[in-house]
Structure 1
Amino acid sequence: MSEYQSFEFQAIERPLTKAEMTELRRFSSRAEITPTRFWNEYHWGDFKGNPERWMERYFDAFLHVANWGTHWLMLRLPTDLMSLGDIGDYLLEDDLEGGGLKGWQTAEHLLLSFRSETEEPDWEEGSGWLSSLIGVRTSLMRGDHRSLYLGWLAQAGAGYLDDTSLEPTVPPGLGELDAAHGALAEFLRISDDLIAAASVSSASLQAQEISATEIAAWVAERSANEKDALLTELIVSDQPHRLALLRRRIERDCHPLTLEDDSSARRTVGELRASAATISRERRAREAAAQAAEQARKAAEVAAARKRYLDALRGREEALWRKIDGLIEYRQASAYQEAVERLKDLRDLADADGMRDAFNERIRQLREGHARKQALVRRLDEAGLVGR
C-alpha cells in the first residue's frame, strides 16, 4: 500500500498577501494556495515546509493526516484571549511520547498542538476534517476549555501517562460535547467510555450566549469616554479578534460564574481508566441485552407470520400434495426446490396439528416412488424430510 498524507492550513484572522502566497508556492508546485488556504496531499513525496513555523507566521489552523497513523491538529489564538499561563494545567511535557496536547507562545499568539498516533491505523483521507474541527478554535476564544481537557485525555487513553498522574481541571460540558468537540474526540481517538468516565466530575455547561438586552444594558453602564475608546479601537484595529475580545469581556461581566469547578478532588489516570472499564462493561451488557431483546422480537414476528401462513393452508393439505406431485414430474431443479418448500410447509402444519406420523408415512411413500430421482432425494435429505 502506498503512503498517503495530507496537509491543510487555514488563515482566519488575516488573509495571505500575494507576496506570502508566492513565498509558499516555493514549497510546492501542486498545492492549492488561496488567500485563506494551503492544501496538498502526497502519495510518495513529503511536505517541505515547517508546520510550526508556518503557523507562527501565516495561519490560524492546521491539519495533517497520514495513513501510517498520524492525526495532527494545530490552532493559533491571539494571546489577548488566551495565554500559556491560562492553560498550563492541561499541557503535557515536550518530551512526552505519543502526541497529546502541547503549546507554545509567540509575542502575539498562543499555538496549540493536538496529536494522536496509532500503530493500527485505518485508511482515511484528510479532506473534511479541518472544517469539522475549526469550531474548537472559536470555543477556545470564548474561554471553553473542553478541547484542552480532551487533548490531555487523549494521552491518558493512549497509555502514555502513568496511572498515578493527576487529571487537570475538569471543564464544564464534558458530558455534552457539541459537533466540533465530538469531532475532536474522534480525531484524537478517545473512547466514548473514557469521556463518559471523565465527565462524571464535569458540571453542566452554562449558557454563554448573551442577549441583545444584556449587551444594551452593559453598554449603557459604560462612561462616554469608555464607549468612545471601545468604538474607536474596533474601527481602526486591523485585528478581527478585537470584537471577540470585547464580546468575551461582556459575557464575563454578565455571567460572572466560574467556568471551571476545581473544588472536586482530581482523579488519577488509573482511576479514570478503571471507571472507563466499568462503564464499558455496563455498556456492553446493555447492548447485549438490547440485541437479545431485538432478536427475540424479530423471532416472535417471524413465528407469528409463519403461524398465520400455516393457518391459511389448513384444510388445503391434499391440494398441496397434488401440487407437489406435479412439480416433481417437471424433473427440474427449480421445481424440485419448490416441492421441498411445500413439503416443509406440510411438515410444520402436521407438527402443529399433531399429525407428524401421518406426514412421515406420506414422505416415506413419496421417497419410495421417486427413489431414482437423485437430485430430488438429495434435496429431501438436506431438508430433513426422511420419513421418520
Structure 2
Amino acid sequence: MTRLLPVRNELLGGDARPLYLGWLARLGNGELCDDEFEPPVPAGLQALTPAQVALAEFLMLDADWLAAAAESSPSILASESNGSEDNFDPWLRELSVDEMRAKLRMLLQGRSHEAERTLRNAFLKWEKGRNTKHLNLPRRRRISEIESRVAAHRAIRERREQEARQAAEARRREERTRYLTSLLEQEDTAWSSIDAQLRRTTGSAYDQAFQKLQDLAEAYANVRRDAVFRRRLAQLMSSHGKRGAWLARLQKAGYLWQPKS
C-alpha cells in the first residue's frame, strides 16, 4: 500500500491516469457493455508512474487491455508535465488581483499544500481549455474498438516474453558451458573434492559429491571423453564402493555401479 500513496497527490495535481485505470478495472470485472464509450483518454498511459504501475497491479489489470487502451493516449511532454515558466506566464497574467491575494493568504495561514493544489488545478483547467481549442483530442472509442486491438498486443507481449526466455536460456547455457569447461580444466581438483566429500560420510556430503559427479559426467560427455569419466569413476569406487548410501544414489541415477566383493 505504501507504493500507492503517491496516487492521491497525482490525482490532486490533475493527473487523470489513475481514474482511467479504475475504469479499466470496471471493464475487467465485466461491469460494462461492448457498445459503451471509454472516458476521456489521459495523456501518458504508455508511461505510467511507479505509483500508477502499483495501482494497475493492485487492480489486477490485464496488461494487453491496458496496452490497447493506451494506443490513443498522447505522450506527456516534459514542459507540460513539469509546468515550465513558458506555460505558467500566460495564465498568471490572466489572474485577478483578488485571486492572487487569496492564494497568498492561504500561504500565510500555513495552508501551502492547499494553495499549491488549488493553483495547479486552476492552471490545468485553463490549459485544458486552451488545448481543446487548438489540438485534436483523442477520439473516444467504444469498448469493442479497444477489444479488437487486444489480440495484437497479446501477440506482441507473448513474442517479447518468448524472446526474453530464449535469451535467458541462452545465458544459462553459456554459464553452464563455462562452468563445465572450468571443471575439466581442473579435473584432478574436482575428483579430489568428490573424494573428500565422500569421506565425511554424511547425507549432505553425499548429495554434494553426487552433484559434482553429475557435473563432471556432463562435462566429459560434452567433449566426448566418456571413457575417461568411467575410468576416473572406477578409481573413485575402489575407495568408496562399499558405501551403501553412495551406491544407492549412483544406481538411482542409472550409473549402475555395484560394490566390489
TM range (shorter): 0.5 to 0.7
Query: 1:299 is matched with which residue?
Result: 173
Q: What does the per-residue CA deviation read over 1:144-195, in whole Å, with 9 as the maximum and x for residues that have no partner?
A: 4334433332221221111222223322222222345444434444333222
Which runs of no fewer than 5 residues in structure 1 stay unpaired? Answer: 1-126
Relative to structure 1, is the Cα distance of residues 149 and 259 closer, same or farther in structure 2, using a 3 angstrom cutoff?
A: farther
CA RMSD in angstroms comes to 4.6
Equivalent runs, 1:141-156 vs 2, <5 Å: 144-156=15-27
| Residue in 2 that maps onto 1:288 | 162
Q: Which has the higher contact order (CA 8 A, sep 6+)?
A: 2
User: Is 1:273 equivalent to 2:147 in the alignment?
Assistant: yes
- CA shift digits 1:306-326 (9 cap, x unpaired): 11221222xx59x959x95x9
Partner residue of 1:166 out of 37, 41, 46: 37
1:191 aligns with 2:62: yes
- Which residue number in structure 2 is paired with residue 332 of structure 1? 201
Q: What is the distance in 2 between the residues matched to 1:254 and 1:263?
A: 10
Equivalent in the alignment of 1:176: 47
CA pair 299-358 structure 1, distance change in 2 beyond 3 A: closer
- 1:169-222 deviation digits (Å, cap 9, x = unpaired): 322222222345444434444333222211101112240544457656665x56
Instruction: Say whether residues 1:311 and 2:182 are aligned partners.
Output: no
What amino acid does structure 1 have at the position aligned with 2:244? Q
Note the residue ranges of structure 2 that are not aligned, 5 or more in a row: none
Residue 332 of structure 1 aligns to which amino acid in structure 2? Answer: T
Is the Cα–Cα contact under 8 Å of residues 20 and 42 in structure 2 kept in the other structure? yes
Are the counterparts in 2 of residues 169 and 261 from structure 1 also a CA contact under 8 Å?
no
Matching of residue 356 in structure 1 with residue 230 in structure 2: no
Q: Map Cα deviations across residues 250-283 of structure 1 (whole Å, 9 max, x no partner).
A: 5636993239966554332123234234323421
Moved over 6 A (4+): 236-240, 259-262, 364-371
TM-score (normalizing by structure 1): 0.49
Name the structure where helix makes up a greater proportion of residues: 2
Does the residue aligned with 1:134 lie in a helix, a strand or coil?
helix
The TM-score with structure 2 as length reference comes to: 0.67
SS of aligned partner of 1:287: helix
Residue 386 of structure 1: aligned partner: 256
Number of positions where the alignment pairs a residue of Structure 1 with one of Structure 2: 249
CA shift in 2, pair 1:302/1:230, >3 Å: same
* Alpha-carbon contact 2:180-2:219 (below 8 Å) kept: no
